[in-house]
Amino acid sequence: MRSTIRFADKKIKEAFGRLRNSKTEDKKLYEWLKRAFQDIENNAFCGTHIQRKLFPKEYITKYKIKNLWKYDLPNGWRLVYSVGQEEIFVISVILEWFDHKDYEKRFKY
C-alpha cells in the first residue's frame, strides 16, 4: 500500500535536513534514510511490525500511535515509524532513527 512520508515533528525533519548537508559519515545515514523513505512510500508495511506490548511509552503519550514498524538500515541502524490515515491518504510518520545500541535501550532489550 502506497503512503506519503511525514515527520512526527519539526525537530526530526530538521535532523534529517542536517544529515543531507553533512560532510561526515552522517551523509551515508542520509542516503540510507532516503532509500528507506522511498521503500516505505511504495509499501507502508514493508518494515517489521512491532508488538504493542513493546511500544515505548514515550511514543504512546507523545505521538498517540496505534501501530509501530521498524525498518532495518545498514550497520545496525533502525528507523521507527507508524502508519496512519489522513482523509483518503495513507501516511507513514517517521518517529526516530538510531543505532542498534540506542534502539535496544529505547525498546528495553
* Contacts for 57 with CB less than 8 Å, ≥ 6 apart: none
Range of the domain at 36: 4-106
pLDDT given at position 33: 97
> Which CATH number do you get for residue 46?
3.30.2310
How far from the centroid of its chain's Cα atoms is residue 56's Cα? 14
Confidence of residue 24 (pLDDT cuts 50, 70, 90): confident
* Contacts for 42 with CB less than 8 Å, ≥ 6 apart: 2
Q: How many domains does the chain have?
A: 1
What SS3 class is residue 6? strand
pLDDT given at position 78: 96
∠26-49-104 over CA atoms, to 5°? 50
Give residue 95's region: left, alpha or beta (phi > 0; psi -120 to 50). alpha
**pLDDT for residue 80 is more than 80:** yes
Q: What does the alpha-carbon distance between residue 36 and residue 34 come to, in Å, rounded to a whole number?
A: 5
Say what the pTM is.
0.87
